Chains A and B, each alone.
Chain A
Amino acid sequence: MTRLIGANALIVALGVTVVGLLLVTFGARRQRAEWVEAGYSATYLQFALVTAATFAMIFGLVSHDFSIDYVAQVGSRATPLYYTVISLWGALEGSILFWGWVLSLLTALVVFWNRDRGGKLIPYTTATLLGVGIFFQILLVGPAHPFGLVSPVPLDGPGPNPLLQNHWLMGIHPPLLYLGYVGMTVPFAFAMGAMAAGEVGDTGWIRLSRRWLLGAWAFLTAAIIAGMWWSYEVLGWGGYWAWDPVENASFMPWLTATAFLHSVMVQERRGLLKLWNLNLIVATFVLTILGTFLTRSGVLTSVHAFTEGNIGYYFLVAIAIVLLLSFVLVAGNSEKLTSDGQLEGTASRGSVFLLNNLFLTAFTFTVLVGTLFPLVAEAVRGVKVSVGEPFFNRMTVPICVALLFLMGVGPALPWKAADRATIRRKLLPPAIGSGVALLVALFAGTRDVFALLAFMFAAFALVANVGEFVEGARLRMQQRGESAPLALSELVNANRRRYGGYVAHLGVVAVAAAITAASTFKTEYEGTIKKGESLKIGENMAVRLDEVWGREEPQRAVIGTTLTLLKNGREIATLDPRMNFYPTSQQPVPTPAVRSRPTGDIYVNLQAFQQDGSNATLRVIVEPLVPWIWLGGMIICCGALISMLPVPGAARVRAAARAESAERAPGATTPVTAS
């Protein structure tokens, strides 16, 4: 019953989507408003149907309905409820279903919010979204059909992939990632819609896309950080980023989207970079699809990949269509995208944005080359290679350092050409800050040049961005006599987009400083110790092995150790790193024990144990500041949220105009007007 509801809902959804696509496209071409309206309604129906299928699947999972192919594949009666529900995205078919559901939700929302405004491009935008929707629905009725019949019905299933049922973060990371990925489809659809409607020269589509892009960007940021956290907490090697193809796949669209968030301001203010911005939006979407293709089709190996079947060919066809269509449309429209303004002076915020885009693009390109190089090498020279971490680090660390520096310079500079006095006044405090950071870092024992630069520029950016808040609030306090907290909140409220951006910068500073500190000052200790013995950690700390124990859980067997963390001989904490044995996996999945403090983590992983429980081999990693990576990610997302919040009512146009004119160059060529 559940199975039939799900299966049929998906088939009908595909039909509805195809009809909807035809209706909006031909309705717009032939100017038949009632066709377009009917097409809009189809998006709601599509959402309802895919929702029905998704809920049918969740119900099937929770009720252990093993007649459903997907449930029989990932379900198990022994799996706890939480992991049963999240196994919705634990394997290929379910993740495609979930993806399709998010896409149908966003499509319906785009239509709901924009059908009565936004003009000619909305029907084509809807058509693009429905086109992408058709792809996922073809997958769902074809090669990734999750509702196949299993006969006779099994009594029980194997349960989800051990790596996915080992940590609660797996309930967070994939949905965030899908929201980020799918969210990037919406700005792309606006861009395609604008091109199809011949409105690509206007800023209309950019205005419509801004919040969508910011939202998707925030989700993608959160997803990347959550993914790092998951790999830190589950994989047991004490790291969080390995330049794995799957990680790169999520990082590349993030880079291009970040570049767009900055360069779009140059277009809004100065009428420049129109073609460039269009390219960034298209590239962002293409990179999300490329990343999905690389990791779902078995082209590249990865710890995270779940692969299989002929689904890769469908992706190949889709990616070919997307690439050809978007390249052809963008190039064919490029003449309409000439600049109608220019930058003023080299030392202005606009030129910092240009540099920022240059570095972010170089960053993206480096990651892309590093990811695809094994494929190229095998195609051209027939050798199997992999591109190691050294390549990525060597290439990207200087870029990161430069970006950190720009992140401090940009906010400090005005849009118009800055005179020397302004530059000196604005950049002196950050420069002092970076000097202090340099001394502290040298004193702490940093010797690596790039690490020193990273600490310096992180401090530079920190002081510069905090300075913007301080200066703005102080001005308000003087001019309006507001109290400090009021002045600060009013300052942010009056220009949420700008100050939200600065908040995000502070988050990036936290992440960058934490990663630099963690990789510079990371120390590792490893040893085999007997029960009652201790392993020394640094000068004054140690872990004592109290017990090696085992317990049987319904879905797995757990071997753990009980450890006591000692500081100067005093007991300060109990730790219990574990190893989990799942019946479907020959290799145990570790659960390291992490003791987190704002100053850093003590990370203990159980490497091996003696079967009689007499000793255990432990690896202890001391990693300073690591929690600030996760915290910084949250700060970035808060910044994006602040930037997204609308200022209520018409006040927003005036408020924005007022706040910006205070700082705006007199010769602004394309003032932003909100409709």
Chain B
Amino acid sequence: MDDAIPATGLNWRRASIAGAVALPIIALLAFGMTRDPGEITSPLPGKMAPDFALEVFAQGEPGQERMVGDTVRLSEMRGQVVVLNFWGSWCLECRREHQALTNVASEYATKGVKFFGVLYNDQPSTALRWIQEMGGQSYPSVNDPRTRTSIDYGIYGAPETFFIAKNGVVAYKHIGALTEAIMIQKLDSLIAAPSS
């Protein structure tokens, strides 16, 4: 990190040999960057999404709304593309992706895609305040009071988002904040696929 090069007296032959020795070490470290030491990957994508029955606490906006207190079951939505976003008001990344989720959800509501927020490790009252503060949420959110569904889905932290195909199989799992581009790409391919 020092860019001061001595004016005189460097033995370049030795220097270049030493430089050549450094390269494999750097290559090894660079290889290390390409892998994830997190051992086993989640086997969920490609399998049936676990069913759930959760109560709505935030109704969402017209076009997508569900009554507060309604029970949402995944099994009732077979044949439709479903997006489940696990979030909490304490989670910073959830703020980042919130606007994108709300926009895409409204846009795709007409194309038969159902968005649901699933509240993870949080109280509905604080979550409602959060939604208000964020300027609303276009899709409904359900509460997961004992984080049981979150455990079914193997939630590690929030936000995590699951894209479920028409046949009920988890097509894609996203960890961390989503962008509109990713959602649009995934959803378009899921809508195009036939419901088997």
Give the size range of B's interface with the partner.
Answer: 35 or more
B90/A323 in contact, CB under 8 A: no
B-side contacts of A318, CB under 8 Å: 1
B15/A157 in contact, CB under 8 A: no
B-side contacts of A297, CB under 8 Å: 32-33
B14/A334 in contact, CB under 8 A: yes
A72/B92 in contact, CB under 8 A: yes
B14/A331 in contact, CB under 8 A: yes
A-side contacts of B43, CB under 8 Å: none
Segment of A126-134, A236-244, A340-348 in the binding face: A126-134
Cβ-defined partner of A131 (8 Å) among B1, B14, B92: B1
A378/B35 in contact, CB under 8 A: yes
- Cα(A197)–Cα(B2), bound, Å: 13
A-side contacts of B1, CB under 8 Å: 128, 131-132, 134-135, 318, 321-322, 325
Query: Which residues in window 8-42 of B have CB below 8 A to A?
Result: 8-12, 14-19, 21-22, 25-26, 28-33, 35-39
Indicate if A208 sits at the interface (CB-CB under 8 A). no
Q: What 0/1 readout, one digit per residue, does chain A (195-206) give for beta carbons within 8 Å of chain B?
A: 111100000000
A375/B4 in contact, CB under 8 A: no
Indicate if A333 sits at the interface (CB-CB under 8 A). yes
B-side contacts of A376, CB under 8 Å: 28
B-side contacts of A73, CB under 8 Å: 92
Given A301-B37, A378-B35: A131 in contact with B2 (beta carbons within 8 A): yes
For B2, B10, B91, the residue with the greatest tally of chain A CB atoms inside 10 Å of its CB is: B2
Indicate if B76 sits at the interface (CB-CB under 8 A). no
B121/A332 in contact, CB under 8 A: no
B-side contacts of A28, CB under 8 Å: 4
Indicate if A112 sits at the interface (CB-CB under 8 A). no
Query: Which residues in window 94-132 of B have CB below 8 A to A?
Result: 95, 121, 126, 129-130
B95/A332 in contact, CB under 8 A: no
Indicate if B5 sits at the interface (CB-CB under 8 A). yes
B15/A331 in contact, CB under 8 A: yes
- Cα(A600)–Cα(B111), bound, Å: 70
B90/A584 in contact, CB under 8 A: yes
Indicate if B6 sits at the interface (CB-CB under 8 A). yes
- Cα(A30)–Cα(B7), bound, Å: 11
Question: In angstroms, how far is the closest chain A Cβ from the Cβ of B127?
Answer: 11
- Cα(A336)–Cα(B21), bound, Å: 21
- Cα(A327)–Cα(B16), bound, Å: 9
B-side contacts of A299, CB under 8 Å: 29, 32-33, 35, 37
Residue of A nearest to B122 (CB): A583
B133/A157 in contact, CB under 8 A: no
Cβ-defined partner of B4 (8 Å) among A128, A152, A298: A128
A-side contacts of B135, CB under 8 Å: 152
A332/B10 in contact, CB under 8 A: yes
Question: In angstroms, how far is the closest chain B Cβ from the Cβ of A275?
Answer: 11
Residue of A nearest to B19 (CB): A328
- Cα(A127)–Cα(B30), bound, Å: 27
Cβ-defined partner of B6 (8 Å) among A151, A197, A372: A197
B19/A154 in contact, CB under 8 A: no
Residue of B nearest to A194 (CB): B6
A-side contacts of B22, CB under 8 Å: 320, 323-324, 327
A-side contacts of B6, CB under 8 Å: 195-198, 329, 333
B134/A316 in contact, CB under 8 A: no
B-side contacts of A313, CB under 8 Å: 33
For A158, A197, A313, A316, the residue with the greatest tally of chain B CB atoms inside 10 Å of its CB is: A158
Question: In angstroms, how far is the closest chain B Cβ from the Cβ of A566?
Answer: 40
Q: What 0/1 readout, one digit per residue, does chain A (108-144) give for beta carbons within 8 Å of chain B?
A: 0000000000000000100110011011000000000
Cβ-defined partner of A320 (8 Å) among B26, B35, B91, B121: B26
A-side contacts of B36, CB under 8 Å: 298
Question: In angstroms, how far is the closest chain A Cβ from the Cβ of B193?
Answer: 32
B121/A584 in contact, CB under 8 A: yes
Indicate if A312 sits at the interface (CB-CB under 8 A). yes
Indicate if A384 sits at the interface (CB-CB under 8 A). yes
Indicate if A576 sits at the interface (CB-CB under 8 A). no
A335/B2 in contact, CB under 8 A: no
Residue of B nearest to A335 (CB): B11
Q: What 0/1 readout, one digit per residue, does chain A (368-394) give for beta carbons within 8 Å of chain B?
A: 000010011011000010000000000
- Cα(A25)–Cα(B89), bound, Å: 51
- Cα(A333)–Cα(B31), bound, Å: 31
Could you list 28 examples of A-B contacts with CB < 8 Å? A69-B92, A72-B92, A73-B92, A124-B2, A128-B2, A131-B1, A131-B2, A132-B1, A151-B95, A152-B133, A152-B134, A154-B89, A155-B89, A316-B26, A318-B1, A319-B26, A319-B29, A323-B25, A323-B26, A324-B22, A327-B22, A329-B15, A331-B17, A333-B10, A333-B11, A375-B29, A379-B28, A583-B90
The 8 closest A-B pairs by CB, nearest first: A331-B18, A332-B10, A332-B15, A299-B32, A131-B1, A327-B18, A128-B2, A331-B14
Chain A residues within 8 Å of B, Cβ to Cβ:
21, 25, 28-29, 69, 72-73, 124, 127-128, 131-132, 134-135, 150-152, 154-158, 189, 192-193, 195-198, 290, 293-294, 297-301, 312-313, 316, 318-325, 327-336, 372, 375-376, 378-379, 384, 583-584
